[in-house]
Amino acid sequence: MQSSELSVQGQNLHQLYNQYYRNKLLVDRRYQRKLVWTRDEKEKLIDSAVNKLPIPLILLAQRRKGGVEIYELIDGLQRLEAFFSFMENKYPYKGEYFDLATTGDTLAKLHSGELTQKEPVLSRDASLEIANYQIPVSIYRDAATSSIDEVFRRINSGGRRLSLHEIRQAGVMGPLSDVVRRTSATIRGDGTFAETLTLSEMEKLSISRKDLEYGLDLERIFWTRHNIIGADDIRSSGDEEMVLDLVLDAILTPWPTSGWQNRDVAYGLSRKIRSASAEEVNAAITAVGIENLQQRIVAVIEMLDEAMRDHGPLGRHMVHLETYEKGTRRQFQAVFSVLYELIFRDGMQPLSLEAVRNILDNFWGRDLAIPTGGSAWGKDEKAKLYPQVKRRIKKAFFKPEPKNIAKQLNARLLIESYLQGPVNEDPLVELKQGFCVLSNPPTENVDLFDEVMQTAVGMANWSRDATGLILIGVADKPSAAQRSAELFGVTPVEIHGQHVVGTEEQIAHLGHDIDSWWLKWQAKIKATPVDSDFSADLVHSFSPLVCDGRVLWIMKPRSLGKPISYKNRFFVRVGASTHEMKTDEFLSHISRNF
């Protein structure tokens, strides 16, 4: 890092809010944690501004995206969000709300109806004092991604302001970090899969606590609802560390030791122990597939959640204790890992959700015991315990006739996470109702594959780090859902304003089953005239999902960090549409975004 790359300057809140207002403050989710400050912590920050007390500097990295200068937040996420959410009347200070007429930007949002002035109103003078509060801002100019990652680690490892897992995960790229981040986000229900968000979008990832009206409801997250992980642990990414342990149990044979040093080694950090290396772990994940592994983990969790619906928390059900000071993390991990093996390695299915629930009743109150004490759960202890757990749980399962495992578990939780937010306006999301033209009688939509490939390439060309989502089997208009119901006799499932109609009946109408249709589309993707690395990744991501009995298809096109053409034509996403560009226009787009 060269000193010439750094500049330090004082900026007031009004100036910083203007950058926020213009969506020039970005957050990279590869290393930035969720918004976790409580209202009390936020009010203390406002009190510092009121009393002109100094706060730590804000560290930004100056970048260019789409030809526009933006600033990536390296340090200061919680502080800036606390200031800006106060200025937008999301919470009061000493019972009074910021006067929105104080700054031109907040006044513009007031006039547009985006914000509403809440009462009682803080005096104009006091509001102006806060808006003019000076904050030291350090700007790291033209920084490489690797440099930003290293700066973030150094800032947060020295003072241990982040948890071990947040430091471990910070800036790491690869299959393990990818599947842990994405699976954890899906289980939390944050509804995003983009690596980069504007700071204004981050509030939907806030783990809200008492007296905050926005973000995720901490008490409704799977882990807290079922007494598995405590609320405070989730605020420090304990849920992501839990998912990490589940991933390692799912992909490694024999079951590995669960401990902080083993987790570090899996992420490529040097520790004086013998454990599965990052290369071995990432190779094992790649063999399963990132998307496939995420779907499997979420499906097992959703099965347990569904089994306990209207029957109370899973933790209390398994242990029959009145209090859970430390949750039931290891109890859950053992049960999950055995369920994963039964379903995805042994090819078994539950007799029923009731059978699963019954077998888990007071499961750990018999002669089974989880080892306690110490920071690591040894592989030898697991080797003795897990087979005992498996013998008992297996009684609630049976071996079915060979069939596609993708149809056996519900992925509604995953679909709900994908359909949150304004998906109809998102350039990286595309919904298709199905494979048929809804005529009478229905016929195959022979243009669909070409449309999907153009969209996939357009998403990959959107930016260097783009990841898109294409879902087939979701009608974005009620009229299409109603027509599909009339033709195929399927009742649509409404999720976040979208209508899940499924595709199995359409595929059957075209003379195929799920497996043959899957093979047909995989073969078409492999044969399509597009970059071979891109098509290979696309084939890997294309798979069926089940949502309340409706079969959907998912495809996740990813940028290769370089422009992609399809049939020697250039496509990009503009808003929620796919557009073909002429060569000169496309090269200009690539120079701005890559």
The answer, yes or no, to whether residue 489 has pLDDT greater than 70, is: yes
- Domains of the chain, earliest start first: 3-162 (no CATH), 216-400 (no CATH), 412-593 (3.30.950.30)
Dist. CA 106–CA 448, nearest whole Å: 44
pLDDT grade for 510, boundaries at 50, 70 and 90 = very high
Residue 3, pLDDT score: 44
Mean pLDDT of 307-331: 85
Per DSSP, helices labelled H in 92-230 are: 104-112, 124-131, 145-158, 164-169, 175-188, 222-225
Strands 550-555 and 397-398: unpaired
**Amino acid residing at 233:** D
Dist. CA 107–CA 561, nearest whole Å: 40
Rounded to 5 degrees, what angle do the CA atoms 369, 295, 205 make?
90
Rounded to 5 degrees, what angle do the CA atoms 43, 44, 50 make?
90
**Amino acid residing at 493:** V
DSSP 5: G
Q: With contact defined as beta carbons under 8 Å apart, do 473 and 502 qualify?
A: yes
Residue 114, pLDDT score: 92
Give the N- to C-terminal CA distance of the chain in Å, as an integer.
Answer: 23
Q: Which helix (H) or strand (E) holds 197?
A: strand 196-198
pTM, two decimal places: 0.75
Show the tokens assigned to 42. Answer: 């936020």
Mean pLDDT of 316-337: 84
Sorted by sequence, the CB contacts under 8 Å of residue 265 that are 6+ apart come out as 271, 273, 275, 276, 277, 278
How far is C-alpha 492 from the geometric centre of its chain's CA atoms?
25
Residue 2, pLDDT score: 43
Peptide bond into 441 cis (omega under 30): yes
| Residues 428-466 pLDDT 10s | 999 999 999 999 999 999 999 999 999 999 999 988 878
The answer, yes or no, to whether residue 194 has pLDDT greater than 70, is: no
Q: How many CB atoms lie within 10 A of CB 565?
A: 16
Sorted by sequence, the CB contacts under 8 Å of residue 3 that are 6+ apart come out as none
Dist. CA 136–CA 57, nearest whole Å: 5
DSSP 572: E
Q: Which residues pair with 135 in a beta bridge?
A: 11
Q: Which residues pair with 498 in a beta bridge?
A: 495
Q: How many CB atoms lie within 10 A of CB 422?
A: 10
- Closest-CA residue to 321 (of 221, 220, 227, 225): 227
DSSP 102: S
Show the tokens assigned to 442. Answer: 């229905």
Q: Which residues pair with 493 in a beta bridge?
A: 500
| Residues 538-562 pLDDT 10s | 998 899 999 999 999 999 999 998 9
Highest mean pLDDT pick, 30-44, 324-338, 491-505: 491-505
Show the tokens assigned to 118. Answer: 């809440």
457-495: buried (b, 16+ CB within 10 Å) or exposed (e) per residue? Answer: bbbbbbbebbbbbbbbbbbbeeebbebbeebbebebbeb
* Residues 583, 589, 590, 591, CA torsion sign: positive
The answer, yes or no, to whether residue 255 has pLDDT greater than 80, is: yes
φ/ψ bin of 374: left (φ > 0), alpha (ψ from -120 to 50), beta (otherwise): left
Dist. CA 188–CA 209, nearest whole Å: 14
Dist. CA 563–CA 301, nearest whole Å: 38
Q: Which residues pair with 469 in a beta bridge?
A: 429
Residue 586, pLDDT score: 87
Q: Which helix (H) or strand (E) holds 72?
A: strand 68-75
Q: What is the CA radius of gyration of the chain?
A: 25
The answer, yes or no, to whether residue 400 has pLDDT greater than 50, is: yes
φ/ψ bin of 76: left (φ > 0), alpha (ψ from -120 to 50), beta (otherwise): left
Within a 13 Å sphere around the CA of 204, how many CA atoms are in the beta-carbon half?
14
| Residues 27-72 pLDDT 10s | 877 666 677 788 899 999 999 999 999 998 898 988 776 567 888 8
Higher-pLDDT residue of 8, 260: 260
Higher-pLDDT residue of 499, 64: 499
**Amino acid residing at 204:** K
pLDDT grade for 191, boundaries at 50, 70 and 90 = low
pLDDT grade for 156, boundaries at 50, 70 and 90 = low
Dist. CA 553–CA 253, nearest whole Å: 30
Task: State percent of the chain over pLDDT 90.
Answer: 61
The mean predicted confidence, pLDDT, of the chain is 87
Highest mean pLDDT pick, 246-255, 455-464, 580-589: 246-255
| Residues 93-132 pLDDT 10s | 999 999 999 999 999 999 999 999 999 999 999 999 999 9
Show the tokens assigned to 31. Answer: 């290393």
| Residues 196-239 pLDDT 10s | 778 877 776 666 555 566 666 778 889 999 999 988 888 888 99
The answer, yes or no, to whether residue 167 has pLDDT greater than 80, is: no
- Closest-CA residue to 166 (of 33, 314, 364): 33
577-587: buried (b, 16+ CB within 10 Å) or exposed (e) per residue? Answer: ebeebeeeebe
Residue 68, pLDDT score: 73
Residue 223, pLDDT score: 95
- The strands making up 550-555's β-sheet, listed across from edge to edge, are 429-432, 469-472, 550-555, 543-547
